[in-house]
A and B are shown apart, each in its own frame.
Chain A
Amino acid sequence: MKKSFTIIWFLGLFLFSCSNCGKNHQISTLIQIKGSDTMVNLVQAWAENFMKKNPSLSVAITGGGSGTGIAALLNNTCHVTMSSRKIEGEELELAKSKKINPKEFIVGLDGIAVIVHPSNPLDKLTFKQISDVFTGKIINWKDLGGKEGKIMVISREVNSGTYHYFKEHVLGKENEYTENALLLISSQAVADEIAQNPNAIGYYGMGYLSPNQKPLAIAKDANSSFVTPTFENVKNSTYHISRPLFFYTNGKPQGVVKKFIDFILSDEGQRIVKEINFVPIR
């Protein structure tokens, strides 16, 4: 009884240590992609299509935010980073010091929709009004022409590329989100909270639009026209809160990674972009 126990224990240890032996062979058949939560559904759709065509290859996708993905690239723990914001100067310098050479690909376009609960009477806001709401200068819906009620600001976490992009382009570089803003861990969490909270306002990538939230039409200032976040408006650049979606690799992509990137930039890959409610690059 004791003897068989010892044998089983050693066998277990042996098998466990062997599980790492195949690791080096895996790099040529497994692509590790990390980064933006906004892009996770899109890259998942690409990966599924790609794996159907290439049954011997696998693509592993992890979210966590654009910042997480870029950090992973710099720490060499992924092959491709998906990011909904451009890599920043400090990150590029750090990459150089670590001998990593990020190569940028634009793989799609995305609009960021500002949404409210469907029962909210408001339909449109200007950039300045949105900025004031999210920085905490306007705190009641009646100051915007709506019903009396405390505005509940919903934002993404600091890891998120969407967070950064919204901060830079809508709030203004010098401004911070109000400390009352709820920082939720994913765009889906933002969507869920807005769907059940009549006083909430938030933002997410257009791909998350659903009948449970109402998108607002945005104007650059009081004199411009108000534009809704639709596919056409992002494509013809009339919707102003839109951004390119990026892939970053370390140096020029090779082997299976190159195969994957060629696939997503092809007509078929871009057709998938449209199906997931993002905007193809051409």
Chain B
Amino acid sequence: MFKKSLSLKKVVEQIIEYLIKWCGIISIILVIFIFIFLFQEGVSIFKNNSPLSFILGKQWYPLSKPPIFGILPLILGSLMVTIGAAIIALPIGVASAIFIAEVAKGRIKEVFKVGIEFLAAIPSVVIGFVGIIVVAPIIQKTFNLPTGLTAFTGSLLLSLMAMPTIVSIAEDAITSVPNRYREAALALGATHWQTIWRVVLKSALPGITAACMLGLGRVIGETMAVMMVTGNAAKIPHGLFEPVRTLTATIAAEMGETIQGSDHYFALFAIGLVLFVIAFIINFLADFFLHRERI
């Protein structure tokens, strides 16, 4: 009787392992399928337009006769908004993470942690709405611009969205630095800040870098908020305070009206492909940093 229950347990073990293995495999298969679908639809645009003229073309007029498909302004728009968000969110995010992990104690630590999570819970549409109504006019008046709908406004809002990701993951990375590092530094006479700056941060750097890349990955894929506040002008921006148009907003705004099978339809899928590749590279880099050996 003892033997019977042992082999039954073995079988149950195997089934469970099999099931969870397949759950993992299905996730990977889904990603591959999405990529294949994007690739199939997107690559059809390159029958009549060379990939170079698509990626480097400076004008996006998909509905002219003949249509012009050049996504350089869109790529630059997305990059500009993302880099702007990075410049704002990275320092503030990492600093917040250091505060929560190293300086805050007890009650204050909990309050801050919960507060940052709240930020993550706000839907992006709501942030975009607040952006149009409140933030854009303020920016227009403060910087004396022709309009408040600019890349800068977009960057501001996106940094709000990236911060929870950056803070959570960076805080995890800092907390997992072994205590003996800190104790050794303090024993050698370092102050608290010297310990943080020279020992803890250096040790947590791979994790912090991963946090930043994941935050940016979220930012580059953000659609609704940027569509509402960046003005959607498809031209090459000459500064952060000009209206821009992102890859994501283009797909969202124009996909509804395209006729399936038209060149415009394929062009939008090609944009999706470009976005997929960019996001994939960012996430791959994040993963690479996360798994590097800690110094």
| Contact A180 B235, CB 8 Å, known A192-B133, A197-B140 | yes
Count of CB-CB pairs between chains A and B under 8 Å: 84
Contacts of A157 in B (CB 8 A): 232, 253-254
| Contact A159 B233, CB 8 Å, known A182-B149, A189-B228 | no
Contacts of B59 in A (CB 8 A): 179
Question: What are 12 contact pairs spanning A and B, CB under 8 A?
Answer: A68-B256, A90-B259, A149-B146, A150-B146, A152-B147, A157-B232, A176-B61, A179-B73, A182-B231, A183-B232, A184-B149, A192-B132
Specify the chain B residue showing the minimal Cβ separation from A161.
B257
| Contact A180 B233, CB 8 Å, known A196-B137, A197-B147, A200-B147 | yes
Which applies to chain A's interface (DSSP): helix, strand, loop or mixed?
mixed
Contacts of A196 in B (CB 8 A): 136-137, 140, 148
| Contact A68 B132, CB 8 Å, known A158-B63, A179-B233, A182-B147 | no
Instruction: Report the separation of the CA atoms of residues A68 and B258 in the bound assembly, to the nearest whole angstrom.
Output: 7
User: For the complex, is B48 an interface residue (Cβ under 8 Å from A)?
Assistant: no
Interface string of A159-171 (1 = CB under 8 A from B): 1000000000000
The tally of residues in A whose CB lies under 8 Å from a CB in B reads: 33
Quick check: B140 and A65 within 8 Å, CB to CB? no
Quick check: B61 and A65 within 8 Å, CB to CB? no
Of A90, A152, A158, the contact of B253 (CB 8 Å cutoff): A158
User: For the complex, is B64 an interface residue (Cβ under 8 Å from A)?
Assistant: yes
Of B73, B140, B253, the contact of A159 (CB 8 Å cutoff): B253
User: For the complex, is B142 an interface residue (Cβ under 8 Å from A)?
Assistant: no
Contacts of B257 in A (CB 8 A): 64-68, 70-71, 158-159
Quick check: A159 and B132 within 8 Å, CB to CB? no
Quick check: B253 and A185 within 8 Å, CB to CB? yes
Interface string of A44-77 (1 = CB under 8 A from B): 0000000000000000000011111011001100
Interface centre among A90, A179, A180, A199 (most CB of B within 10 A): A179
Quick check: A64 and B256 within 8 Å, CB to CB? yes
Known: A71-B256, A71-B258, A183-B245. 13 other contacts (CB 8 A): A64-B256, A64-B257, A67-B256, A157-B254, A158-B253, A159-B253, A159-B256, A176-B64, A179-B73, A179-B233, A182-B147, A183-B253, A185-B232
Interface centre among B137, B147, B227 (most CB of A within 10 A): B147
Contacts of B260 in A (CB 8 A): 71, 75
User: For the complex, is A193 an interface residue (Cβ under 8 Å from B)?
Assistant: yes
Interface string of B239-261 (1 = CB under 8 A from A): 00001010000000110111110
Within 8 A of A (CB), among B53-71: 59, 61-64
Contacts of B227 in A (CB 8 A): 185
Quick check: B235 and A158 within 8 Å, CB to CB? no
User: For the complex, is A181 an interface residue (Cβ under 8 Å from B)?
Assistant: yes
Quick check: B256 and A158 within 8 Å, CB to CB? no
Quick check: B63 and A183 within 8 Å, CB to CB? no
Interface string of B252-277 (1 = CB under 8 A from A): 01101111100000000000000000
User: For the complex, is A94 an interface residue (Cβ under 8 Å from B)?
Assistant: yes
